[in-house]
Structure 1
Amino acid sequence: MAVLLERRGHWPPVVSTMTMVEALQGRPGPDAPTNQFLKSCRIEPVVSERLARRAARLRTSAGRGSAVDALIVALAEPGGVVVTGDSSDICALAERADDVYVEAV
């Protein structure tokens, strides 16, 4: 498969860090196959890999929230405030974050 993709100019795969938030759980065991695949990829840092992985851990820990919600909360760490009109998922994520406060509007 890799040879075919390479011939077509599609190798290495390009994976955005946003995709990593959706694909990873933030735990080494379950993430091992995905991490192995990611080693062969070019990571496109829409956000930093560190931030994407942190957001993945928050999202897995909270058991809810979208990738974007998790990134917003991760960006607010430490000591930030997230202002939102839809606080339920953001609050669940912030409860597991490092010193993040939620302000509902």
Structure 2
Amino acid sequence: MCLYFLDCWLRTERYYELDDGDLALFESKREAFLKKYEKEIKAYRTERLIGSGTLRDYNFSSLPENILKNLDSYPPFNGYVYQNGILCARIKIEDKYFYLPPIYDEDCR
């Protein structure tokens, strides 16, 4: 499931995993589906988030400490890497590539 939301002046998207049961629920009982995905539809970054179209939705704290302390802006985005059911953002810093998982809001865990 891809949800679009407007953040300031930017339109971006967040991706959530749907299984066959969720798809069937969407097709047969729309209200129940909307209730189940209420937090996601309101653009919270819940544990169901599997990826995003913007780097600010990714967890930079997973970078090594020496790189994190010298990082002063978003590094170049270099696509996605699908790992364990999650779309990790691939970034390049100097000559190394790093894979960042999505970040989740603490109140949604």
- TM-score normalised by the chain length of structure 1: 0.22
Q: Give the strand-richer structure, 1 or 2.
A: 2
